[in-house]
Amino acid sequence: MELNRRTVIAGAAAAGIAATTLGGTAEAASGRKPVRKLFGTLADGTKVYRWSLENGGTRLKVLSYGGIVQSLELPDRHCRYANVVAGFDNVADYVAKSPYFGALIGRYGNRIGKGRFTLDGTAYQLSVNDGDNSLHGGAQGFDKHVWDVEPFVKGSDVGLHLHYTSVDGEMGYPGTLRTTVTYTLTRHGDWRIDYAATTDKATVVNLTSHVYWNLAGEGSGTIEDHELTIAASRYTPTDSGLIPTGELAGVAGTPFDFRHAKPVGRDIRAGHEQQVLAKGYDHNWVLDKGITARPEHVATLRDPRSGRTLKIATDQPGLQFYSGNFLDGTLTGTGGRTYRQGDALCLETQHFPDSPNHANFPSTVLRPGRTYRTSTLHTFGA
Ligand code: GLA
C-alpha cells in the first residue's frame, strides 16, 4: 500500500508519536513563518542565511546563496526522518566546489553549444565553462549569486520568494532579467517551485532546480536501486560534449526506456553509445505530454528500502535525468560521508538543452512585455 503524506501524519498522531518526532524543530514549526539563521559569510563579507520551513511533515532548508536547497527532510514508512538531498554543511564548499547541489539554475539550464546563439540577427557569445560549451548559465550562473529572500505565510502554505536581477550582458546574455522564484511548502508537505522572469530585450531563458535526490538518505550509498518512471517515449541524444544532435530518438528497446518503473541501475551498464558518452544517464527526456498550461505528472522516483516516493509534475516539455556520473569520491556531504558516482540523481524540469540552436525544439525566447512562467510540483509519500 502506498501511504500518502496525510495518512502518515494522521497515523503518527493516532499512534501517539510526539510532534517533535514528526515536525516541530527549534528552527521552524509546522505551517509557521520561515525562520532565518546565519549560515556563513562569503569572501567579500556578504552574509549567507539559511531559511528553515516546515509544513505537512516536510522540512526544507534553503540558502540565500544560489537559492540552494541545503536540506530536505522526509519521513520514511516508519516516520523516521532523513535528509534526502545532497549538499554541504558550509558556504565555502558551495562556493569552491559544488556541482550545483540543490541550486537554482539560470539563465539557461544545461548546455548551449560553444556558448553561442543568434537571436533576431544578432550573434551572442556566452560565458563558456564546460569544455567548449556554456553550462547552467556560465561561470557565474544564478547558483553563485545571493538572492533577496522574502518569507511568507499564505493560508495554510508557507514559503519564500527569491529575487535576483541579472544585468544586461551578464554572462553574455542580452537584456536585464528580473527573476522571482517562489518555493512553497503546502499543508500536505508538497514542495512547489514557481519561476517568473521578465526582460527588457529579447533573450533566451530556461530556469530549473538542480536538487540531487537520494530518497534513502543523503550519503547512504547508491541510487541504482531507486525505481524511476519517466512519461517519455523519446529523448534527445547528444554529441561527446553532451550537446543535443537535434534528433528526437525513440526510447523503445533502449536503456532510456523508463515508461514503466525500472531500477535506475538495471540498464545503466548496457553499454549503449549514448551512455558511454555521458558516463551513465545525462540526457533530456522529451515528455510525451509536451508543454502544458498546468503542471502534469511526468516522473516518479521510489526507494524500495525506505518506501519514500517523489512524484514530479511540470508544465515544461523536458526532463533532464542525470545519474550523478561526475560524483567521484572527492566531495564530503552534509552528513560527513563522501559522494561517489551514482550516490544521488537529478531530475531537472526544463526546456531542451541547446534549444536556441535547434529550430525544431520548443522555443526558449522571452521578449519584453511577456512574462516567463513555469511551475514544478514535488509530491512526497512513504
Ligand atoms: C547537469 C548536467 C551534467 C552535469 C551536472 C553537474 O545535470 O547535465 O552533465 O554537468 O549538471 O555536474
| Among 54, 145, 170, 210, the one annotated catalytic | 210
Q: Look at phi and psi of residue 230 and say left if phi exceeds 0, alpha if psi is from -120 to 50, else beta.
A: beta
Q: What angle do CA 171, 174, 175 make, to 5 degrees?
A: 115
Whether 282 is in the pocket of ligand 1, judged by its Cβ within 6 Å, is yes
Cα-Cα-Cα-Cα dihedral of 136, 230, 328, 191, to 10°? Answer: 70
pLDDT in tens, 159-190: 999 999 999 999 999 999 999 999 999 999 99
Cα–Cα distance, 302 to 3 (Å, whole number): 13
Which H or E run contains 140? none
Q: How far is the CA of 9 from the centre of ligand 1 (A)?
A: 35
Quick check: CB of 197 below 6 Å from ligand 1? Answer: no
pLDDT tens for 91-101 read 999 999 999 99
Catalytic (active site) residue 348: yes
Find where cell 522571452 sits: 366
pLDDT at residue 268 greater than cutoff 50? yes
Measured from the Cβ of residue 190, the count of other Cβ atoms closer than 10 Å reads: 20
Task: Tell me which residue has its CA closest to atom 5 in ligand 1.
Answer: 99
Using CA atoms, how far apart are residues 219 and 84, in angstroms rounded to an integer?
9
Q: What does each C-alpha distance from 150 to 34, 68, 101, 102, 339 come to in angstroms?
A: 9, 15, 22, 19, 32
- Please report, for residues 234, 250, 282, 296, 354, the alpha-carbon distance to residue 256 in angstroms, rounded to integers and kept in the order given: 8, 9, 10, 21, 20
pLDDT digits (tens, 9 = 90+) for 33-58: 999 999 999 999 999 999 999 999 99
Whether cis (ω within 30° of 0) applies to the bond prior to 107 is yes
* Residue 59, H or E segment: strand 58-63
The verdict on the CB of residue 326 being under 6 Å from ligand 1 is yes
Domains, the chain, in order of start with CATH, read 5-102+144-166 (no CATH), 103-136+169-381 (2.70.98.10)
The answer to whether the beta carbons of residues 323 and 281 sit under 8 Å apart is yes
Residue nearest to atom 12 of ligand 1 (CA): 99
Ligand 1 site, residue 242, Cβ cutoff 6 A: yes
CA of 110 to the centre of ligand 1 (A): 7
Residue 62, pLDDT score: 99
Q: Sorting pLDDT into bands at 50, 70 and 90, what band is 29?
A: confident
Whether residue 110 has its Cβ less than 6 Å from ligand 1: yes
Ligand 1 centroid to 137 CA: how many Å?
12
At 347, give phi and psi (nearest 5°).
Answer: -130, 95
Encoded amino acid at 69, one letter: V
Dihedral angle sign, alpha carbons of residues 226, 256, 241, 365: negative
User: What is the structure's pLDDT at 27?
Assistant: 64
The pLDDT tens digits for 191-207 are 999 999 999 999 999 99
Q: Is the pLDDT of residue 3 over 70?
A: no
The cell numbers describing 36, all together, are: 532565518
